[in-house]
Structure 1
Amino acid sequence: MSRLILHVDLDAFFAAIEQRDHPEWQGRPVVVGAQPGQRGVVATCSYEARRFGVHSAMPIAQAVRRLPPEAVYVRPRMAQYAQVSEQIMAVLATLSPQIERVSIDEAYLDISGLTALVGPPQVIGEQVKTGIRQAVGLTASVGIGPNRLIAKLASDARKPDGLTVVLADQVDAFLNPMPFQVLRGIGPKTAPRLGRLGVRTIGDVRRLPLVTLRRHLGARAGTQCYCQARGIADDQIHPERPRKSISKETTFAEDVTDPQMLESTLHWAAQEVSWLARQTGNKGRVVTLKIRFFPFETHTRSRTLTRPTADEQQLFCIARSMLTTETSWHSRPVRLIGLGLSGWPESNRRVQLDLFDAANAQPEPEEPTLTKTLDAIRQRFGAEAIQRGLSTHRHCD
């Protein structure tokens, strides 16, 4: 029996939830992210906004210049989005136990054995879309193929609200006309090398010998490109495992040198990471700062704490300290910045401290009352209802 993998991707997930919850916003450009006049970026946007060239990670000031006056700007409501995501995953679990959630709005399912029970792949895909629509009132794009690569490309083929089925004997015809840049691992450095070989489509890649691809792209990348162009890819689903870290990062549409904008983005990342950590019952000891300079020079810095934390002010202050103490980074154009938290105590239990270590003699502190209050408000009214201002984080001593 041939493998069948289904990929489901919610359409403009955050923005679609906002339009669902505010019917008066339907048909209007909706931007989820920073507010006009503030420093920050677009987290995501509706398809109405995308028609004006707005996209994720675009600076909000640039988005405002492109969008008409009737555009709507809203702060992210992460608690609400996470709740809707759980409802969607519950729908998928009724169809197949083999689920791999790859993000808050995206998952793979192994549906290989369902054709005898449910029907043809097209019927299974329609059942997924209908189940999501009935459960949460949102549309999803679904792709079905013999492996993860084909399923993902199929779900991208007809967004939004699309359904594309590519069977094993249809893979070549499906891939051949596609631009080669859709293949995984083809980036700004790799694409020009293929372009110089006259490559425009995946069909063009297929006509190149393996030895040619390896010579121009390197052994690993060349082999990967050769296989993907022939539809050869991983067909295994890896059920969700306990997450080892939580991170948030932003790729800027235009390189950033403004220290205040970088701090503002770190502030947002610290808020999102700490919120997700607390909602999943995690605290971490390792805080990691990630930064990428033009063109693709990436650095990470980590700091290990004596006690695990999920406090956003502490995360922000530590990340800000790592950013500002690296003097060689100052004034350099930043393409990406992010913050991560990892190093959970084993089984997420309180850590057994050394009785003879004076630094650890005090009991583990309770969550600050202000944090508890803010979380309770966000849980009830949404993450955008209230949050700390950046000025409250400037006192990091």
Structure 2
Amino acid sequence: MQQAPRAIIHVDMDAFYASVEELDDPSLVGKPVIVAGLGRRGVVSTCNYVARTYGVRSAMPTSEARRRCPDGVYIFPRHARYAEISEIVFSVFGEVTPMIEGLSLDEAFLDVTASLRLFASIEAIGRRVKESIRERTGLNASVGMAHNKLLAKLASELSKPDGFLHIHPGEVQGYLDPLPIGRMWTVGKVAEESLHKVGIRTIGDLIRADAWRLNKAVGERHAAQLRQLCLGEDRRAVVTDAPEVSIGSEWTFDIDVDELPIAEAWLLRQCERVGARARSRGVDARTVSVKLREPPFVTHSRQAQLPVPGNATPDIYAVARRLLQVWWNQHPRPRLRLLGVTLSGFDARHSDEQQDMFAAPVSEKRSDGVQDRINERFGAGALVRAGVLKTRGSE
């Protein structure tokens, strides 16, 4: 007995960060809005569609964006505000299905197969999601619908901005064949160049290509997978409650840091950020990693285990600081362009679990809870440890 096709929806908010800024300040509507790091080495997080007409795009250095769009409105990201809107968006998802795979604050897959009886059709569900987001946030979402994740995401991308598109099984090749091969999932720059060399420039070209040419370009294993994808076949399931692999925070300095106390202050700041995020998610980390980048682009990574899995900022900082100091002392003239901290190896915390007798008493960690509550109420950075104050004024 053949299994009924799945009903998958991909939702992607349009220019999310920039749209939130326009929502909070309507005077920005119609102007090129660029949300980015504003320092000398800042990078664009996102921009609205007006800014994109100037050639500005995500991940572009802010300095390049300013050259292309000197009259743009440049805004430093407000992550707490974006997370607030994101919670509203995801609450809409939860009203139509529990099968939600969040990809970021503004993007998710929904498996609504089991919801079809209640809502009649995938289009009805998609329309409800789109309209509810608009009513509750004032923002536009692009909604793509199909029988698998690959095609649902393609549908939202092709219909942006403010999109709404359902790719039916009989329409797959009509949408796929004309697209550049670089648009296909798993095809990066290197693979794209290799395929171009053997005359494969579109998805349709790949489907019609003989096995020898395709194997020569990308290898036999990747070729078989790629041919399936180009035929619109994708068996990936929507994965709910996917465990977080890592929590990281990093900072690129406008001026290279060559003093250890200043580096330690920035390190503490990143430890506060990742610790707060781990506590908000109720997870304990086993591993602390420190990322160190020397100018211009020489990157080092060091990691060590916490004595006991946890998320307290002092414990994270103690391990991270030791890693930084060891690296610093190994270099005759240490200088840092970038410094970051990442937590990984998570254990979910449960209230009925037996507590480790060697873990720090709750009273010793209470300051983290106070700091988290104050920052949640008044904004990130409202309360910081004294050691972080050396970083103020240099953002």
Give the TM-score range, shorter chain. Answer: 0.7 to 0.9
* Cα distance between partner residues in 2 of 1:187 and 1:268: 34
- Rounded Cα–Cα distance in structure 1 between residues aligned with 2:268 and 2:33: 23
For 2:314 and 2:56, locate their aligned partners in 1 and report how far apart those are by CA, in whole Å.
31
Matched AA of 1:224: Q
**Structure 1 residues 51, 103: CA separation in 2 closer, same or farther (over 3 Å shift)?**
same
Residues in 2 aligned to 1:29 and 1:387: alpha-carbon distance in whole angstroms = 34
State the alpha-carbon separation in 2 of the partners of residues 65 and 214 from structure 1: 42
Q: Deviations over 1:139-191 (max 9, x none)?
A: 11111112111111111112221111101111011100111111122112211
Residue in 1 that maps onto 2:168: 167
Instruction: Give the total of aligned pairs.
Output: 377
Shift of 1:89: 1.5
Q: Find the counterpart in structure 1 of residue 76 from structure 2.
A: 74
The farther-off stretch of 9-18 and 275-284 is 275-284
Q: Pick closer, same or farther for the CA change 1:313–1:203 going to 2, 3 Å.
A: farther
User: Does 179-188 or 313-322 show the bigger shift?
Assistant: 313-322
CA distance in 2, matches of 1:51, 1:317: 47
* Aligned twin of 2:43: 41
Residue 382 of structure 1 aligns with which residue? Answer: 379
Which residue matches 1:363? 361
Shift of the 281–2 alpha-carbon distance from structure 1 to 2, 3 Å rule, reads closer
Q: State the alpha-carbon separation in 2 of the partners of residues 29 and 115 from structure 1.
A: 40
Matches for 1:104-115 after TM superposition, within 5 Å: 104-115=105-116
Residue 315 of structure 1 and its aligned partner are, at CA, apart by 5.1
Alignment of 1:24-103 (within 5 A): 24-34=27-37, 36-37=38-39, 39-69=41-71, 71-78=73-80, 80-103=81-104
Q: Secondary structure at the match of 2:20?
A: helix
Map 1:186-225; keep pairs closer than 5 Å. Answer: 186-225=187-226
Identity of aligned residues (%): 35
The normalised TM-score by structure 2 is: 0.79
- Residue range with higher mean Cα deviation, 185-194 or 340-349: 340-349
Q: What residue ranges of structure 2 are gaps of 5+ in the alignment?
A: none
Q: Residue 13 of structure 2: which of 10, 14, 24 is its match?
A: 10
Which position in structure 1 is the counterpart of 2:23? 20
Aligned partners of 1:70, 1:3: CA distance in 2, in Å?
43
State the Cα distance separating 1:132 from its structure 2 match. Answer: 0.9
Partner of 2:22, secondary structure, is helix
Partner in structure 1 of residue 240 of structure 2: 239
Report deviation, 1:272: 4.4
Q: Hey, what's the Cα distance between the residues in 2 that align with 1:333 and 1:193?
A: 36
Please say which of residues 238-247 and 103-112 is displaced more in the overlay: 238-247
Q: SS of the residue aligned with 2:160?
A: coil
C-alpha change, 1:325 and 1:209, in structure 2 (3 Å) is: farther
Structure 1: which 5+ runs fail to align?
Answer: 355-359
Paired letter, 1:49: A
The equivalences for 1:291-330 within 5 A come to 301-310=302-311, 322=323
Amino acid at match of 1:4: A
Higher relative contact order (CA 8 A, sep 6+): 1
Q: Does the 8 A contact of 1:75 with 1:384 survive in 2?
A: no
The SS at the match of 2:142 is: strand
Q: Counterpart amino acid of 2:349?
A: S
Distance 1:353 1:180, change over 3 A: same
Quick one: which amino acid aligns to residue 106 of structure 2? Answer: D
Checking the alignment, whether the CA contact within 8 Å between 1:244 and 1:342 is kept in structure 2 is: yes
* Deviation for aligned residue 1:111: 2.4
Contact persistence 2:142–2:156 (CA under 8 A): yes
1:319–1:48 CA distance, 2 compared to 1 (3 A): farther
Deviation at 1:51, TM superposition (A): 2.7
Contact persistence 1:33–1:76 (CA under 8 A): no
Q: Assess if the C-alpha contact under 8 Å between 1:146 and 1:235 holds in 2.
A: no
3-state DSSP class of the match of 2:198?
coil
| Structure 1 residues 34-87: Cα deviation after superposition (integer angstroms, max 9, x where no partner) | 2x3454333333233333333333333333333333514133233x32232222
State the alpha-carbon separation in 2 of the partners of residues 368 and 66 from structure 1: 48
RMSD: 4.0
Indicate the SS of the match to 1:144.
Answer: strand
Once the two structures are superposed, what CA deviation does each residue of 1:13-41 show, in whole Å capped at 9, x if it has no partner? 2222222122222222333342x345433
TM-score (normalised: structure 1): 0.78
What is the one-letter code of the residue matched to 1:7? H
**SS of equivalent to 2:126:** helix
Query: Helix, strand or coil: the match of 2:19?
Result: helix
Aligned to 1:357: none
- Alpha-carbon distance change, 377 to 23 in structure 1, aligned in 2, over 3 angstroms: farther
Match of 1:366, as an amino acid?
E
**Aligned pair in 2 of structure 1 residues 159, 341: CA closer, same or farther (>3 Å)?**
same
Rounded Cα–Cα distance in structure 1 between residues aligned with 2:384 and 2:31 = 26
Distance 1:142 1:259 in 2: 45
- Contact 1:49–1:67 (Cα < 8 Å) also in 2: yes
Counterpart residue type for residue 380 of structure 2: A
Q: After TM superposition, give the deviation of residue 200 of structure 1 in Å.
A: 1.2
Secondary structure of 1:302's aligned partner = strand
Cα distance in 1 between the residues matched to 2:190 and 2:205: 18
* CA drift at 1:96: 1.9
The SS at the match of 2:364 is: coil
Instruction: Find the residue that maps to 1:246 and give its secondary structure.
Output: strand
